[in-house]
């Protein structure tokens, strides 16, 4: 059964009833649950936001915990994820306020240890991986369609004096969420297309390739510079390791498509062009306000770490120490409005850099364990992709590269956080 084929009802029922298929099906369902709207006017200062996808991920952990009795985890996975668990536990015990850090400990372990290991156990066969990647593609198509409609009708999030920023079903307070889902789906569609191409399933390869190309539109309309950069890096790595000539042809076609869509049809028009131009001026003398705030938050995280170098200040403690170390010019928050939500000012509760967040809250011990996990996964996934295992391996590597690049200017938080766990867990298949 291929990804795009429609199975007979009886066969579909048999697949669902098979106990060994249930974890993979639940994993795919969890991905799709991310698309459910959770309300546009939620309290962004609340300590915990539980989404339907979070609940499903907990159920997946419980289901796969039963499977762990008969399925053994790779030793490398135990060491890498165990190191992260130990490091965040040490940081929590040594926290300036252990009671506050306890919720941060639970969330960090959920995202970076338990759910990834559950995903690893759920993806026993290659068809399970196809199912998960297919779910990412479907989620991206859903969010992308909503995002394009928001841009076309002017009902998106507030941006540059208008309301045309595509945010999908996530609302203005999670402006990065749609771009992340679309990016994941684009990379997944590309990997599935490469796999279908290698297996000489031409129609499926063309359909998936077109899907990946069409997802460029909502990605552009998200106006997310970070997602653009991360997606470019992920696609380049996946294609170069799979087929260098194909990578060059894809680059030419992508450039031509951008010229036609933006220049010819005016998709995004001046907004996309201005946003692209700002990438080159980020390091200039007068970057935009969001960039200068990000630089200040990075400097704040480094200053916090210097006072607590070994174990940091503890999970969830960055907001408590921010004001004492931040420069006076740092904004009190960022303005959000549109897409069904009233105007609000969202507080800056993190450094918007996952590596600096771990460094400030968990110190060198935490950052070492976190970096070892990512490096170990990258090495294993890169080795498999370079060995020519197929497009699925290229997709896993591409998703992981996207996440590692994204962590340079973003951290966890929001309804798409659970997808980070799925990226890490699927990449951990390479450790076997």
From residue 236, alpha-carbon distances to 128, 141, 178 in Å are 25, 21, 21
SS3 354: helix
For residues 48-73, average pLDDT: 85
Q: Determine, yes or no, domain membership for 14.
A: no
**Residue 144: inside a domain, yes or no?**
yes
pLDDT for residue 3? 42
- The domain tally of the chain equals 1
Say yes or no to pLDDT of 275 above 80: no
Q: Which one, of 87, 104, 81, 82, lies nearest residue 365 by Cα?
A: 87
Name the residue among 234, 195, 193 with its Cα closest to residue 210: 193
Q: Is 12 helix (H, G, I), strand (E, B) or coil?
A: helix
- Regarding predicted confidence, which is higher, 132 or 295? 132
pLDDT in tens, 148-199: 999 989 888 776 667 778 889 998 778 889 999 999 999 999 999 999 988 9
Reported confidence tier of residue 379, pLDDT bands at 50, 70, 90: very high
* Rounded Cα–Cα distance for residues 111 and 113 (Å): 6
**Phi, psi at residue 370, to the nearest 5°?**
-65, -45
Q: Is residue 246 pLDDT above 80, yes or no? A: no
Q: How far is Cα 58 from Cα 56, in angstroms, rounded to an integer?
A: 5
CA distance 432 to 425: 12
Domain assignment present for 192: yes
Report yes or no on 328 lying in a domain.
no
Q: Residue 135 is part of which domain span?
A: 73-285+345-431
Indicate whether 38 belongs to any domain. no
Q: CA 186 → CA 218, 238, 370, distances in Å? A: 11, 12, 26
- 18 occurs within a structural domain: no
Dihedral angle sign, alpha carbons of residues 145, 146, 147, 148: positive
- Asked whether residue 78 is assigned to any structural domain, the reply reads yes
Question: Vertex 27, ends 422 and 370: CA angle to 5°?
Answer: 20
Per residue in 300-342, pLDDT tens? 999 999 999 999 999 999 999 988 887 777 765 555 554 555 5
Q: Which residue has the tokens 């841009």?
A: 151
- Does residue 189 lie in a domain region? yes
Tally Cβ neighbours within 10 Å of residue 77: 24
Q: Which pairs from 251-259 meet CB under 8 Å and 24+ separation? A: 253/213, 254/213, 254/216, 257/213, 257/216, 258/216, 258/220
Looking at residue 418, its pLDDT comes to 95
The torsion defined by the Cα of 256, 262, 265 and 267, in degrees rounded to 10, comes to 130
Q: Which of 2-16, 29-43, 319-333, 397-411 has the highest mean pLDDT?
A: 397-411
User: Which residue has tokens 């390791």?
Assistant: 241
Look up the pTM and report it: 0.88
């Amino acid at each position: 059964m291929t990804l795009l084929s429609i199975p007979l009802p009886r066969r579909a029922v048999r697949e669902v009833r098979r106990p060994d298929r249930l974890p993979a099906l639940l994993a795919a369902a969890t991905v799709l649950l991310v698309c459910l709207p959770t309300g546009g006017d939620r309290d962004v200062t609340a300590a915990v936001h539980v989404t339907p996808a979070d609940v499903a991920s907990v159920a997946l952990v419980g289901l796969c915990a039963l499977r762990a009795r008969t399925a053994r985890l790779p030793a490398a996975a135990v060491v890498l994820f165990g190191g992260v668990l130990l490091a965040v536990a040490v940081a929590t015990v040594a926290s300036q306020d252990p009671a506050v850090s306890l919720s941060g400990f639970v969330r960090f372990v959920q995202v970076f240890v338990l759910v990834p290991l559950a995903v690893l156990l759920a993806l026993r066969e290659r068809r399970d991986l196809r199912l998960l990647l297919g779910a990412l593609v479907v989620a991206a198509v859903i969010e992308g369609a909503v995002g394009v409609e928001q841009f076309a009708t002017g009902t998106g999030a507030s941006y540059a004096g208008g309301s045309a920023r595509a945010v999908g079903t996530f609302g203005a307070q999670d402006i990065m969420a749609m771009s992340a889902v679309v990016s994941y789906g684009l990379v997944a569609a590309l990997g599935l297309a490469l796999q279908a191409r290698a297996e000489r399933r031409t129609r499926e390869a063309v359909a998936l390739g077109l899907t990946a190309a069409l997802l460029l539109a909502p990605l552009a309309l998200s106006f997310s510079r970070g997602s653009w950069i991360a997606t470019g890096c992920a696609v380049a790595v996946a294609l170069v390791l799979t087929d260098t000539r194909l990578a060059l042809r894809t680059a030419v076609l992508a450039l031509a498509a951008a010229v036609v869509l933006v220049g010819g049809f005016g998709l995004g028009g001046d907004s996309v062009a201005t946003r692209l131009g700002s990438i080159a001026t980020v390091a200039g003398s007068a970057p935009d306000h969001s960039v200068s705030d990000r630089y200040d938050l990075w400097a704040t995280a480094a200053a916090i770490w210097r006072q607590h170098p070994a174990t940091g200040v503890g999970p969830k403690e960055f907001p408590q120490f921010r004001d004492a170390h931040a420069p006076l010019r740092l904004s009190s928050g960022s303005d959000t409005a549109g897409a069904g939500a009233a105007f609000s000012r969202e507080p800056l509760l993190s450094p918007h850099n996952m590596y600096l967040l771990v460094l400030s809250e968990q110190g060198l011990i935490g950052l070492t364990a976190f970096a070892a996990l990512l490096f170990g996964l990258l090495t294993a996934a890169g080795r498999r992709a370079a060995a020519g295992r197929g497009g699925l391996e290229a997709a896993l590597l591409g998703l992981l590269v996207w996440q590692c690049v994204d962590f340079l200017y973003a951290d966890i938080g929001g309804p798409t956080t659970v997808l980070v766990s799925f990226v890490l867990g699927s990449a951990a298949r390479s450790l076997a």
